[in-house]
Each structure stands twice: as structure tokens, then as C-alpha cells.
Amino acid sequence: MGGDHGLAVTLPACRQFLEATPDVTLLLVGNPAAPALAAFRHERARIVPATEVVTMDDPIEVALRKKKDSSIRVAIKQVKEGAAQAALSAGNTGALMAIARYLLKTMPGIDRPAIATHLPNMKGGVTTVLDLGANVDCTAEHLLQFAVMGSALVSVIKSDPQPTVGLLNVGEEQIKGSEVIKHAGELLRAAGEAGDLNFLGNVEGNDIFKGTADIVVCDGFVGNVLLKTTEGLATMVGAFLRQEFKRNLFNRLAAVLALPVMNGLKRRMDHRRYNGAALLGLRGLVFKSHGSADQMSFRYALGHAYDAARNQLLGRVQERVAHAAPLLSTFQPSSAAPDTSDSTLAVSVPQAQG
């Protein structure tokens, strides 16, 4: 029942994902009194009840301290207790991050988790960008942590032990940027010399879509603006092309000839294919879906969470962070990581409002 469209999106997406992925089990976390959820039947899916809901308007304090049986919290508890290998939610992002950090804790050496996702580039692949909104104000040390975690994520995706890292800046020169960015550049270069990163240097916004670096690191304010702008641009391009092709007969004929190319472009720019952002740095796998996700988009988010669990992303991130521990100045001791032996995935479906 989560997201903007509720069960009309999430349950069909779950069913399609189950049919396409024979070795996965889904735990559907939500209010079992909801008719559509109660009626959902699949041999590899079961309902995990949650009596409370975190709405999109709830302050983080309410979600964290007062709604202790919310669907988001119960879903993340499945990961903490080893009942699931990953949790996915389309609910309140701030609440998801706060509850996940509270229940799962961060890895040693990681001060703040980061949200990472992939954007298409001109090379036919993707560029991984983080942070996308979890941390608006970042220190240079935080950006170093993001780079280390992003490297682990991309090494899993591309099976490349040394993915390249770029630091988003207003220019490629080392002397440009704020004091935080310049200091972050120094830390990233030191990490590169130590063998913890394959650091290319500063990159600019257009380098993200050129595919100059496999990973681009920035603070959450810049990253979130970038993400929303990219999604808006893709929507605008699609609308513009549809409008142009309707103008006259010549344009309609040209559209027929260009259809294979335009379909390929549409597929590459379709932000729904990249839905499902990882919350990196936690002692468990948590993924965030767009609240506006449609059925296709939510299905892709499920796939990304599944791939992360199947390819042992959590262990890869822990290894990278441990190797870079001497350079990570915000070491925080915490308890042992959750058991991830069960091949299940929890889906938070907070109850629709209104």
C-alpha cells in the first residue's frame, strides 16, 4: 500500500517479480486487514503484519519513537533478525533512513549512510552517483566514505575490482571548489595512493552522462537536485518528441523511420529502469523506491535489491571499508552484523492514507 499508487502498483509488481525469479521469497509487510493484501496468494510470499503506518508527513521523531510497529520498522527488523537479506520501501525516505540506522547501525568506520543509484551514460552503461539526499551537509571525510562504499557497490555490479571514482566539482582543477571539496580531493587522492580507490580526480556535471567515471561522489543536496533534474529532463524529452511527431505528416513519417532509434533512446533514458537506490553503510541491505513508482519501476527496484543480496553486496562493502579503515576518521564501534543467510526479501507496504 506504499507509494503514490498503493496496492494497484506494488502487488502486481511483486507477483511479476516472483514469477520471473524462482529462487526468491517475498515478505510483504503491512496491514493484513487491507483486502487486496489479505487476498494476495503466492507460494513464495507471505504477509508479515504491521499495525502502524509512517505517513509521508510524519516527522522523523514520530516515526522513530512513537510508531514502533510501523511497516517500515517491521520490514527492517526482518533484516536485523536474519529473516530477510534485504528490505525495500517506497515510503518516507527520512523515516526509512532514520529507522534503518537505528536498528541496523552503521559499519565501523562509517559515520553516515548514503543513498546511491545509477544514471545512464553515453557509453551504454551507468554512472553510480552518491549521495542522493540522505546527507545535505557533508564533511570531506563523509565524501571519502561515500567513495569507498560506492566502489564496493560498483565492483559488484561490474565485476570490476577497481572502478573509477570522480569527485563532483565546478571544474577539474584541484584549486577549484569549496574548502570541503578541496579537502575531500586530498583525502581521495590519499586513498588512491593507498590502493583503496581508483580516483580519477574532479569531474563536472556533464561527465556523469559521458561516463567519465564509474562513480561520482557529491553531497546529498547536490545529488538530490541532480537526480530530480535528470528525471524531469527525461520526461520533458519524451513529451517534446511526442508533440513534434504530431505536428504534420512529414514529422509522422519521420517518426515511423526513426521508431527503432527512438525506442532505444526512450528505453535508455527511462528512469524507471534505475529505480531502487541502495542505502549504503548500514549493517544490512536496505533499498529505497521512488514514492511515485509505477508497476514497472517497483519491479526493477525489487530486482536491484535481489541482485545486491545475491551478489553479497553487504560483505563487499564491509571488506572495502575495513581495508580503508586507516583513512576513515569517523570510526564508530557497533555490534555484529545481522545474519544474512536467508534468501528472502522484505517489502514495506505502508498503509495508504485518505
Q: How far apart are CA 277 and CA 55, in angstroms?
A: 20
**Ordered per-residue pLDDT tens for the chain, 354 residues:** 677 887 889 999 999 999 999 999 999 999 998 899 989 999 999 999 999 989 888 899 999 999 999 999 999 999 999 999 999 999 898 999 999 999 999 999 898 899 999 988 989 889 999 999 888 889 999 999 999 999 999 998 888 889 999 999 999 999 999 999 999 999 999 999 988 899 999 999 999 999 999 999 999 999 999 988 877 776 666 676 667 667 777 666 766 666 665 566 556 566 678 889 999 999 999 999 988 889 999 999 999 999 999 999 999 999 888 888 887 754 344 433 444 334 467 766 554 443
Q: How far apart are CA 206 and CA 194, in angstroms?
A: 28
Cβ 105 vs Cβ 289: under 8 Å: no
Cβ 168 vs Cβ 176: under 8 Å: no
Take residue 299 and report the three cell numbers written for it.
Answer: 519491479
| Domain range summary for the chain, segments of one domain joined by + | 1-113+281-312+330-354
Cα atoms found within 13 Å of the Cα of residue 157, Cβ hemisphere only = 21
What does each C-alpha distance from 12 to 5, 30, 143, 295 come to in angstroms? Answer: 12, 16, 38, 7
Supply φ then ψ for residue 202, to 5 degrees: -70, 145
Distance from the Cα of residue 139 to its chain's centroid: 21
What does each C-alpha distance from 119 to 149, 156, 157, 230 come to in angstroms? Answer: 17, 16, 13, 8
Q: How far apart are CA 196 and CA 206, in angstroms?
A: 26
- Domain 1-113+281-312+330-354 matching CATH 3.40.718.10: the answer reads yes
